[in-house]
Homo-oligomer: A and B are copies of this chain.
Amino acid sequence: MKDIAYIDLKQCILQDNEDIANEVRDLTKEKKFFLWNIMSSPGAGKTTFILDVISRLNGKYSIGVIEGDIESTIDAEKMHRLGVPTVQLRTGGDCHLDAAMIKKALENLPLEELDIVIVENIGNLVCPAEFDLGADLPSMLLSVPEGDDKAIKYPLMFSVCDALMVTKIDALGLFEFDFDALEKNTRKINDNLRIFPLSAKTGKGMEVFIEWLCKKINSKKETF
């Protein structure tokens, strides 16, 4: 009698995702664009941040956006109003984007004309961290009102990102937020994570971040 075959469904799903993420990575090289995945909790300020980044990079790079949402199209409409090519992904309940969704979305963007594609992931600090999208820059936002202890509570998210944008620093007078504690807790998990305190509302810290981002983008461009 044969042994029972155990199928680890999650493992299968993640392996399939990894294969497609590699296809997406190949596509970014073939079509010569920089793919940037932005993750965070709901309400950490992804949309406001992205709108500000787009206005700052305007004229310098040609940008497209993939908007991930469970429901609604309000964020995609905001991007569209800036004249940016935008694809709306509605997951209809799913709590994360995966590589297959990104591959599909990319088919609907004018990749030949674009330097950067920004992905606004679903607002969730848990599951999006498990799904590699093939991005050149996996990154996350953490807003000051959320608190400085999130790396302890959601370590996987902090471990898969290359950049952490600490948003809403204009609220530092109202909320206690210990940057040293954040730094200490993130270093245990991910020694390469770059931390950028900033406020898309006041503009503070944005220039420093944009300078770093442009270097990342240009260093990929040099490989083409």
Tell me the A residues contacting B by CB distance below 8 Å: 9, 41-44, 69-72, 74, 93, 95, 122-127, 143, 145-147, 149-150, 152-156, 168, 170-171, 174-175
The chain B residue with its CB closest to the CB of A142 is: B43
- Please name 20 pairs of A and B residues whose Cβ atoms are closer than 8 Å in the assembled complex, sorted by A: A9-B9, A41-B42, A41-B123, A42-B146, A43-B147, A69-B153, A70-B153, A70-B156, A71-B152, A71-B153, A71-B154, A71-B155, A72-B149, A72-B153, A74-B152, A93-B126, A95-B127, A124-B125, A124-B126, A171-B175
The answer to whether A125 touches B125, judged by C-beta atoms less than 8 angstroms apart, is no
Q: Tell me, in angstroms, the Cα distance from A86 to B9 when the chains sit together.
A: 33
Tell me if A146 and B43 are in contact (CB < 8 A): yes
Cβ 8 A contact of A170, one of B127, B149, B174: B174
A123: chain B residues at CB < 8 Å are 41, 125, 153-154
Give min CB distance, A92 to chain B, whole Å.
10
